Amino acid sequence: MTPNVAFPSLTERQIETLSKYAKRRHFHHNDTLFQAGVSPATFFVVLSGAIEILDHSGDEPRTIVVHEPGEFTGDIDILTRRVTVVSAVARGETDVLEVAPADIRRLIAEDPGMGDVILQAFIARREQLLESGFEGVRVIGSRDSRDTYRIREFLSRNQVPMRWLDVDTDPGAAELLRHFGVDAEALPVVVCTGQPVLRNPSTRDLAQAVGLKRAIGTEVYDLVIVGAGPAGLAAAVYGSSEGLTTLLLDADSPGGQAGASNAIENYLGFPMGITGADLTRAATLQAQKFGARLSTPAPVTALEDEGSHLTVRMDDGETASARCVLIATGADYRKLDVPDRERFEGIGIYYVATKTELDACGGADVVIVGAGNSAGQAAVYLAQHTRKVTMLVRRDSMRQTMSSYLIDRIEAAPNIDVLYTTQVRELHGDTRLESVVVENTATGERRTIDTPAVFTLIGAIPRTDWLPAQIDTDPKGFVCTGRQLANTPGWTRKRQPFLLETSQAGVFAAGDVRLGSAKRVAAAVGEGSMAVKFVHEYLAELREDPQPELTTNVPVKGLAAL
Ligand SMILES: Cc1cc2nc3c(=O)[nH]c(=O)nc-3n(C[C@H](O)[C@H](O)[C@H](O)COP(=O)(O)OP(=O)(O)OC[C@H]3O[C@@H](n4cnc5c(N)ncnc54)[C@H](O)[C@@H]3O)c2cc1C
């Protein structure tokens, strides 16, 4: 018989191992052990009696499983520290072992045998739950609403199970609104199990409701990582697995630019390619498994040197203290320079091409602006799900800017049209984007294309406007590190800066934000991992000499000098 990976029965020996971390508790028949949307996810091992796990996200409660003696509760939310998405109720007089989430994380890290059994069960349970019709958070709103898009995008990028009910086409939406007594003016609304209905919530309130945003506390972290793209995630995995107290902050969601890719085909070890969402899901879980803390949304607005430590300040005034900081804020999408662009953002102008945007444009003809690899990937993906894709390319060729494998696929696709020397000039629409006027800059000819979606993939600029003046950047804003700091007046240590160290000792930079970086997932992951080695060296230095002698007279040796 094949072992049940999702719901294994623990051996007596495994229960004995767990009991070292556990306390014994007793529940009466019908007692609630934890409640969806309210309690943190909790790990109980059934010793006698039973625990029924219930899904309340649909219209009627539904039994997912009944845990018998030897089985345990919990899923990946124990690692992500979010509130639980299901409820647990005792069936009969029930004795359990309760293990605190922090101890489960410790056990998974310290005991690979037990860790595998528990982790595999957590992952398999979440997969089964999603496949079983679990609705999760329900979002009711119109496809023509920018706030509906904001909410759906935030939930989906943060991998919160969600169902969208389009108020214009889904008959169930009106029924639900009546059920909750919500007027159409309050749309979009969000329904989370066990909580009051949220009427057009701010992203922060939504994050709090689904357990993404948590208090950071006053401890001084060994490492605070700003930005949870591939570079930040890699640093979080290595930092936390090597015993550093690690906090990972992201303005929006983990994954960064890579998280928006539908097929990363050149990342080592994935011959069939991997989606950015899958890579992000696995990396986030891996970092949290080792104890890294993640908080979103947490847009960092300032970095301050307090002498004894560094302070990272967020837009709501919340702060995090750190011995070392890693700048991994990557790059932001370049925007179209065309009138009314802002008015149509989220309702026709998009910067990524994923299922969320596809749902919003309903399979109609779409336009892509750009000729880089991200534009090429988007064209190939969108061509599979829409009638027609029109690519607008500023130059007369894509050969200098796009990989040849993508050009070959675009040329082979019957429903992709490429218009060279063409730019967007006007955007039109009433409640959402309906058409664009484009101009052939070689001939001056203008034409109108009817479309509900323009995907703008025209490169990126570094996200460094939050950095203080003492962090050196090049004129474009990319952060200088290591030997790039030659002749900087900002460097004040007697030693030379480490390879990924910025002009402020103890502050490092990795990934796309760094001057001269390769702008690839693998390179960002490599730099994020490597930065942790320098964090260790810096912390060792700090332990030896908490107040190192400073000097302004030791110039950094540039490349030419070495
Ligand atoms: C659509 C697309 C497809 C791609 N496909 C490939 C591919 O197939 N192969 C490949 O090798 N590369 C690909 N790339 C490039 C690759 O994704 C990037 O090189 C990589 O993501 C860079 O990682 P990073 O961690 O340095 O930065 P990013 O991925 O840019 O991540 C930075 C993170 O920092 C956060 N952040 C920014 N500012 C702040 C702040 N002030 N406070 C808190 N958080 C902040 C952002 O929200 C973001 O999550 C693609 C890029 C795109 C856009």
pLDDT tens per residue, range 80-125: 888 888 999 999 999 999 999 889 988 888 888 899 999 999 999 9
Ligand 1 centre distance from Cα of residue 259 (Å) = 7
Residue nearest to atom 11 of ligand 1 (CA): 520
The per-residue pLDDT for 389 is 97
Exposure letters 84-116 (e unless 16+ CB within 10 A, then b): bbbbbbbbeebebbbbebebbbebbeebeebbe
| Best residue for ligand 1 mutational test, from 204, 216, 225, 257 (most atoms within 8 Å of Cβ) | 257
Residue 73 CA to its chain's centroid (Å) = 26
> Residue 440 forms beta bridges with which residues?
422
Is any atom of ligand 1 closer than 6 Å to the C-beta of 233?
no
pLDDT recorded at residue 60: 84
| pLDDT for position 550 | 63
pLDDT at position 352: 85
Our answer on whether the CB atom of 330 is closer than 6 Å to any ligand 1 atom is: yes
pLDDT value, residue 562? 38
| Ligand 1 centroid, distance to 231 Cα (angstroms) | 8
Task: List C-alpha distances in Å: 263 to 14, 272, 356.
Answer: 40, 9, 16
Ligand 1 centre distance from Cα of residue 280 (Å)? 11
Confirm or reject: Cβ of 519 under 6 Å from ligand 1.
yes
Reading the block at residue 241, the tokens are 């697995």
Query: What is the structure's pLDDT at 552?
Result: 56
Pair 129, 86: CB distance under 8 Å: yes
Q: Is 506 close to ligand 1, i.e. is its CB under 6 Å away?
A: no
Q: How far is the CA of 258 from the centre of ligand 1 (A)?
A: 5
**Segments in the chain below pLDDT 50:** 1, 560-562
Query: pLDDT value at position 134?
Result: 84
- Assess whether the C-beta atom of 280 lies below 6 angstroms from ligand 1: no
What separation in Å is there between the alpha carbon of 230 and the centre of ligand 1? 7
Asked if residue 377 has its Cβ within 6 Å of ligand 1, the reply is: yes
Atom 17 of ligand 1: nearest residue by CA position: 258
Ligand 1 binding pocket includes 229 (Cβ within 6 Å): yes
Tell me whether residue 316 is exposed, middle or buried, using C-beta atoms within 10 angstroms of its C-beta: 0 to 12, 13 to 18, 19 or more: exposed
Q: What CA–CA distances, in Å, run from 80 to 86, 190, 245, 502, 520? A: 15, 21, 16, 31, 27
Reported pTM: 0.86
Spatial distance between the Cα atoms of 40 and 37, rounded to a whole number of angstroms:
8
Q: Is 299 in the pocket of ligand 1 (CB under 6 A)?
A: yes
Residue minimizing CA distance to atom 7 of ligand 1: 264
Establish whether residue 509 lines the binding site of ligand 1, counting it when its CB lies within 6 angstroms of any ligand atom: no
Coil, strand or helix at 512: helix
Q: How many angstroms separate the alpha carbon of residue 264 from the centre of ligand 1? A: 12
What is each CA distance from 493 to 146, 151, 361, 396, 554, in whole angstroms?
49, 46, 55, 50, 7
Using the mean position of ligand 1's atoms as its centre, give its distance from the Cα of residue 281 in Å: 15
Distance CA 98, CA 434 (A): 56
- Phi and psi dihedrals of 33, rounded to 5? -90, -40
Q: What angle do CA 387, 162, 289 make, to 5 degrees?
A: 115
Cβ of 327 below 6 Å from ligand 1: no
Q: Quick one: which atom of ligand 1 is closest to the CA of 528?
A: 25
Q: Would you state the structure tokens that stand for residue 306, as one six-digit string?
A: 């307090």
Is the beta carbon of 361 within 6 A of some atom in ligand 1?
no
Q: How far is the CA of 255 from the centre of ligand 1 (A)?
A: 7
Which of 252, 521, 527 for a ligand 1 pocket mutation test, highest count of atoms within 8 Å of Cβ? 521
> Mind listing the pLDDT tens digit for each residue in 289-304?
999 999 999 999 999 9
